[in-house]
Amino acid sequence: MKTAFISDVHGNLEALTAVTQSLRDEGVSRVLFLGDIVGYGANPGECIEIVREIADTILAGNHDWAAVDKTDTSSFNAAAQAAVAWTKSVLTAADKAFLSQLSLNEETKDFFCVHATPLHPEAWGYIVNDRDASQSFAHFSESLCFVAHSHYPTVFILTDKNRINSERTAHLSIRAGCRYIINSGSVGQPRDGNPAASYGIYDTDKKEYRLLRVEYDIALAQKKILDAGLPPFLAHRLALGR
Ligand code: ZN
């Protein structure tokens, strides 16, 4: 069975629409959404509607909870804070009620899923280096953990020799005896220098993971951000993938 892991849409309807088409083309049977439907982009309400339609499981991200005052935004930069205020002003009461009740993590038979980290999901820490990964491996029992939040597609592997390797691979065969923390990047605001939308597919039968990149109408997403009066930086960065 093909399971897709998508996250960090951030109100980018054009990127989400392109990824939704890709999910159909790939014949995905299950979609896990790892947080951050809203924040930064110009179509938060529309993105909530689509994610609710396509995803089997939806987890909370820090921007989802920032929009409903469930997380402290004092560490957010000025553009992110402006985006939170704008997002709050356009979401309906029903959208906010929906975001409020999302959970922080999910354990299935095959994997652990969380937006930030397995240990303290609500602290919104990042897994960006081997040390972060090493701490995180101690706080889930499955062999696979899917995370989001950094917008950087990365795979951390705890080998059978108890070493950690990190890779930026687009193809991975899951090996018995190894454990993995996998970040599939961001749909709506990639930051690894590649502006194409990013998401992952894990085939539970073949035990193979793939990272997919999907082109979308960046110019339209940028125009909507500028027209909404959101910080222009949020539009410009989309073309750079930064
Ligand atoms: Zn995000």
For tokens 């499955």, what's the residue? 142
**58 CA to middle of ligand 1, Å?**
14
Say how far apart CA 51 and CA 32 lie, in whole Å. 10
13: Cβ contacts below 8 Å, ≥ 6 apart = 41, 42, 43, 46, 47, 50, 221, 224
**153 CA to middle of ligand 1, Å?**
12
**176 CA to middle of ligand 1, Å?**
31
pLDDT digit string, tens, across residues 89-132: 999 999 999 999 999 999 988 899 999 999 999 999 999 999 99
What local confidence, expressed as pLDDT, does residue 150 receive? 97
**67 CA to middle of ligand 1, Å?**
13
Residues of the chain with pLDDT under 50: none
**162 CA to middle of ligand 1, Å?**
30
- Hey, what amino acid is at 113? C
**37 CA to middle of ligand 1, Å?**
8
- Full-model pTM: 0.97
Residues in the chain: 242
**114 CA to middle of ligand 1, Å?**
12
**27 CA to middle of ligand 1, Å?**
26
Which of 5, 61, 17, 6 lies closest to 221, judged by CA? 17
For tokens 């939040």, what's the residue? 149
